[in-house]
Amino acid sequence: MTTFYILVGYLALLMGLGLLSNRFFKGTSADFFVVSRSVGSFLLLMSIFGTTMTGFAIVGSTAKSYTDGVGVYGLMASWSGLMHSAVFFAVGIKLWAVGKRYGYMTQCEYFRDRFESDRLGYVLFPILVLLVIPYLLVGVIAAGKFIQPTTAGLFPEAFPMPNLPNGNPHPLNGGIPPAVGGGVICLIVLFYVFFGGLRGAVWANTFQTIVFMGTGVIAFYMISKNLGGLKAASEAVAASDFGAERLGREGMMSKLQFLSYCFVPLSVGMFPHLFQHWLTAKSAKSFKLTVVAFPLFIMIVWVPCVLIGIWAAGYLGPLDPGQSPNSVLGRMVGQLVHSPVLTGLVGAGVLAAIMSSLDSQFMCLGTMFTNDIVMKKYGADRFTDRQKIWIARGFILFVVGATYLLAIALQDSAHVFDLGVWCFSGFAGLFPLVFASVFWKRVTLPGAYACILSTALAWGYLFYHDILAAKPAGVGDEEMLVFGMMPVAIIIAISTVSLVVVSLLTKKPSEAIIRKFFV
Amino acid sequence: MSSKVVVVVFFIFAILHHDVWNWNNRSLWLGFLPAGLAYHVAYSLIAGIFWYLVTRYAWPHATEAWAEKGSGE
């Protein structure tokens, strides 16, 4: 039960943080939605990092390096370290500046003013919401599915599972079912976002980032120690048939795939929840620490997980049919460390990574609905600050409920996690729009529509062929590549060309708009 | 440092990400770190230094001042 008590204690601490952040609440909508634009360097770094890193950063990175080898670090982590900082520096600071100058709280407000079109906001709103929801689903389902094996054996009477066909007890017997675990996670995130607004999310993210970075390092130390030290662990991989090839990249991934992965991290430029976090910054200088520390923080989280993944390839060998690579981290901790305390801490770390993304996403959907739909339709002056906050809370409640029900319905679907990856591609496809809006005076409203439309068409076509269309016999579930590249590279190329060509063919934006948005 | 220098260095740095020479290098640096991983760990560290220099010598002061002049809320 030690593992369970650690998880409960961790979740109770988060609720306490929610209540504490509520004590600092100033009662204004600006405070609820963007923390009165008062967040300093450290909290900005921790909240943005926590929001950007999902459960994939711990469990998925270990699993992916177990299957694809050490190249996974270059593919996902070092590209992200370079690109995320570039986006924060080049786009984030500029959006913070216009947000501060003109009082924006959401992306749609900005794009509406930038392109002088209310309709553009109404077009973007459902697209952004539809791209965020699968991302939320992945978080809730992953949390539920992680809690069940972590608590297996603890509650055999409350949550019994039938024996396996061979008569052996079910390995998940007595574990808290995903419907209950996912529900508890939703309620706790709802609790601290509901009471603390974005301040609650920022504080919780900071705490959660410390937890998941710390537990990763502790797990790494304990596992390496029990494998006989760093050298012995890696030498065992080199000596094993299954593990040795994972020390290189040959046969694990193609060169074009490795190169084209650089486009995936551009998605952070269009994440509506990150846009909202950028607006919380007290000053432009608050961004400095985030820009500098991001590659280093990614390294601190990913290097231990990638090494554990390849050590697992040497230590565990090939998995049996039906076993998921996502179980690799849990198995390494369980088989090598035998410590319920560490299992509990790693469990808390994984939940921390998942919840630190969920909170910001729930919060941003509530903010967008209040500001982009309700205020826009009925007028901001019609509501008091208190009413605006309650409208946002009501919508957050609705989104949490809907997400939970969808997660229950789809938890056994094979494609939910693929959907999460496709969301990144969708946001990245829209990156040229935000990039052009801050750097290119010549971009026009029709160019913006062309970018959105071409992204939707290219994304829809590729998504259909990867997820929905019947695949020919012999084609497995491997990652879809187009001309050997990630689909996101094609989507961005198409959306960029559409934006540029249509902008050049249409009337220049007014001088007033250029004066308003360019320094 | 002008923004043009930052852009040029950024693209050179992005090209250096594509370490094809490590593609099939399975040797262990320091006895435990696979070469392809060690290269990218160093890459991450240098990325941090690069962004430190950018924030120090190419900071967008004009954007910052422009934002502070705004009304906000």
Instruction: Answer whether B15 touches A (CB < 8 Å).
Output: no
Domain parsing of chain B, residue ranges: 3-62
Taking a contact as any Cβ pair under 8 Å apart, which residues of chain B between 23 and 42 contact chain A?
23-26, 28, 31-34, 36-37, 39-41
**Using CA atoms, how far apart are residues A488 and A125, in angstroms rounded to an integer?**
21
**Using CA atoms, how far apart are residues A287 and A41, in angstroms rounded to an integer?**
6
Instruction: Answer whether B4 touches A (CB < 8 Å).
Output: no
Of the candidates A370, A394, A396, A400, the one whose C-alpha atom is nearest the C-alpha of residue A382 is A370
**Using CA atoms, how far apart are residues A514 and A502, in angstroms rounded to an integer?**
18
**Using CA atoms, how far apart are residues A281 and A116, in angstroms rounded to an integer?**
26
Please indicate whether, in this complex, the C-beta atoms of A97 and B66 are within 8 angstroms of each other. Answer: yes
Backbone phi, psi, residue A443, to 5°: -65, 140
Question: Coil, helix or strand for A482?
Answer: strand
In chain A, which residues have their Cβ closer than 8 Å to the Cβ of B31? Answer: 230-231, 234-235
- Give the gap in angstroms from C-alpha A436 to the nearest C-alpha of chain B: 16
Comparing CB atoms, the residue among B17, B37, B70 nearest residue A102 is B70
This model of the complex carries an ipTM of 0.94
In chain B, which residues have their Cβ closer than 8 Å to the Cβ of A258? Answer: 18
DSSP string across A248-303: S-TTTS-HHHHHHGGGGGGGGGT-HHHHHHHHTBSSTTHHHHHHHHHHHHHHHHHH
Residue of A nearest to B23 (CA): A249
pLDDT for res B72: 46
In chain A, which residues have their Cβ closer than 8 Å to the Cβ of B45? Answer: 295-296, 299
Please indicate whether, in this complex, the C-beta atoms of A249 and B24 are within 8 angstroms of each other. Answer: yes
Instruction: Answer whether B72 touches A (CB < 8 Å).
Output: yes
In chain B, which residues have their Cβ closer than 8 Å to the Cβ of A44? Answer: none
In chain B, which residues have their Cβ closer than 8 Å to the Cβ of A233? Answer: 32
- Give the gap in angstroms from C-alpha B53 to the nearest C-alpha of chain A: 9
Q: Which helix (H) or strand (E) holds A97?
A: helix A93-102
**Using CA atoms, how far apart are residues A273 and A106, in angstroms rounded to an integer?**
9
Comparing CB atoms, the residue among A103, A259, A284 nearest residue B64 is A284
Of the candidates A218, A474, A213, the one whose C-alpha atom is nearest the C-alpha of residue A343 is A218
The two tokens of residue B56 are 């120090």
In chain A, which residues have their Cβ closer than 8 Å to the Cβ of B36? Answer: 70-71, 73-74, 247-249
**Using CA atoms, how far apart are residues A144 and A177, in angstroms rounded to an integer?**
7
Q: Which helix (H) or strand (E) holds A349?
A: helix A340-368
∠ CA A377-A282-B65, nearest 5°, is 95
Strands (E), A429-513: none
Would you write out chain A's pLDDT as a tens digit for each of its 519 residues?
A: 888 899 899 999 999 998 898 888 888 888 898 888 889 999 999 999 999 988 777 788 888 899 999 999 999 999 999 999 999 999 999 999 999 999 999 999 999 999 999 999 999 999 999 888 888 888 888 888 888 888 888 888 889 988 888 888 887 888 888 899 889 999 999 999 998 899 999 999 999 899 889 988 888 998 999 999 999 999 999 999 899 999 999 988 999 999 999 999 999 999 999 999 999 999 999 999 999 999 999 999 999 999 999 999 999 889 877 677 877 887 888 788 878 888 888 888 888 888 888 999 999 999 999 999 999 889 888 999 899 999 999 999 999 999 999 988 887 775 666 777 788 899 999 999 999 999 999 999 999 999 999 999 999 999 888 877 776 666 666 778 888 899 999 999 999 999 999 999 999 999 999 999 998
Comparing CB atoms, the residue among B36, B47, B55 nearest residue A74 is B36
Environment class of A71 (CB within 10 Å of its CB; exposed 0-12, middle 13-18, buried 19+): buried
**Using CA atoms, how far apart are residues A431 and A266, in angstroms rounded to an integer?**
6
Residue of A nearest to B48 (CA): A292
pLDDT for res A379: 87
- The single-letter code of the amino acid at B44 is S
pLDDT for res A343: 82
∠ CA A72-A77-A80, nearest 5°, is 135
Please indicate whether, in this complex, the C-beta atoms of B44 and A77 are within 8 angstroms of each other. Answer: yes
Question: Coil, helix or strand for A39?
Answer: strand
The residues, any chain, with a CB within 8 Å of residue B46's CB and separated by 6 or more, are: B13
Inter-helix orientation angle A59-68/A286-316, to 10°: 50
Give the N- to C-terminal CA distance of chain A in Å, as an integer: 59
The residues, any chain, with a CB within 8 Å of residue A302's CB and separated by 6 or more, are: A57, A61, A73, A76, A77
Please indicate whether, in this complex, the C-beta atoms of A292 and B52 are within 8 angstroms of each other. Answer: yes
In chain B, which residues have their Cβ closer than 8 Å to the Cβ of A71? Answer: 36
Instruction: Answer whether B12 touches A (CB < 8 Å).
Output: no
Backbone phi, psi, residue A159, to 5°: -130, 65
Environment class of B2 (CB within 10 Å of its CB; exposed 0-12, middle 13-18, buried 19+): exposed
Please indicate whether, in this complex, the C-beta atoms of A74 and B66 are within 8 angstroms of each other. Answer: no
Please indicate whether, in this complex, the C-beta atoms of A85 and B51 are within 8 angstroms of each other. Answer: yes
- Give the gap in angstroms from C-alpha A256 to the nearest C-alpha of chain B: 10
Give the confidence band of B73 by pLDDT, cuts at 50, 70, 90. very low
- Give the gap in angstroms from C-alpha B47 to the nearest C-alpha of chain A: 6
**CB under 8 Å, gap of 24 or more: what pairs does A407-414 form?**
A407/A137, A407/A140, A407/A141, A407/A144, A407/A182, A408/A178, A408/A179, A408/A182, A410/A137, A410/A141, A411/A141, A411/A144, A411/A145, A411/A178, A411/A179, A411/A182, A414/A477
Give the N- to C-terminal CA distance of chain B in Å, as an integer: 34
∠ CA A115-A459-A412, nearest 5°, is 125
Between chain A and chain B, the number of residue pairs with CB atoms below 8 A apart is: 151
pLDDT for res A474: 61
In chain B, which residues have their Cβ closer than 8 Å to the Cβ of A97? Answer: 63-64, 66-67, 70
Identify the sign of the CA torsion A356, A361, A363, A367: positive
Comparing CB atoms, the residue among B20, B24, B63 nearest residue A97 is B63
β-sheet bridge partners, residue A482: A485
Domains and their CATH numbers in chain A: 2-19+39-411 (1.20.1730.10)
Residue of B nearest to A310 (CA): B34
> Which of A255, A299, A438, A439 is the best substitution to test chain B (most B C-beta atoms within 10 A)?
A299
Comparing CB atoms, the residue among A37, A233, A259 nearest residue B18 is A259
The two tokens of residue B47 are 């990325």
**Using CA atoms, how far apart are residues A373 and A44, in angstroms rounded to an integer?**
27
- Give the gap in angstroms from C-alpha A316 to the nearest C-alpha of chain B: 18
**Using CA atoms, how far apart are residues A325 and A309, in angstroms rounded to an integer?**
9
Would you say A143 and A181 are in contact if contact means Cβ atoms under 8 Å apart? Answer: yes
In chain A, which residues have their Cβ closer than 8 Å to the Cβ of B48? Answer: 81, 292-293, 295-296
In chain A, which residues have their Cβ closer than 8 Å to the Cβ of B70? Answer: 97, 100-103
β-sheet bridge partners, residue A281: A39
